[in-house]
Structure 1
């Protein structure tokens, strides 16, 4: 597993950092930790601002 960071694209705010198998898994983990059932349940207002998933090279 690699370490990922999910950021809000427009502000650069870090929403989640952790280990995941890939980009999709990182987004699912972020959504779950934020209290959503899965990434499909992230509110459209958040998605409209953009989410950026990056691998951290530690």
Structure 2
């Protein structure tokens, strides 16, 4: 598995870092750890500005 980092585009805050098979799975993992079923359940006001998912090398 690859290691991804999810950031909030508007603030640059790192929201999640972890292993996932692909960027979409990384978004889902981030949302799940925040208490949501997957990334589509994150409320619109939290998604404002968008998310940036990037693979990182460790």
Q: TM-score, normalised by structure 2?
A: 0.93
Q: Which runs of 5+ in 1 are unaligned?
A: none
Provide runs of 4+ in structure 1 moved above 6 Å: none
Q: 1:37 aligns to what SS in structure 2?
A: coil
Q: Do residues 56 (structure 1) and 56 (structure 2) align?
A: yes
Q: Deviations over 1:9-54 (max 9, x none)?
A: 0111000000000000000000000000111100101212210000
2:27 partner SS: helix
Aligned to 1:18: 18
Cross-structure match for 2:43: 43
State the SS of the aligned residue for 1:55: strand
How many pairs were matched up?
58
TM norm structure 1? 0.93
Unaligned runs of 5+ in 2: none
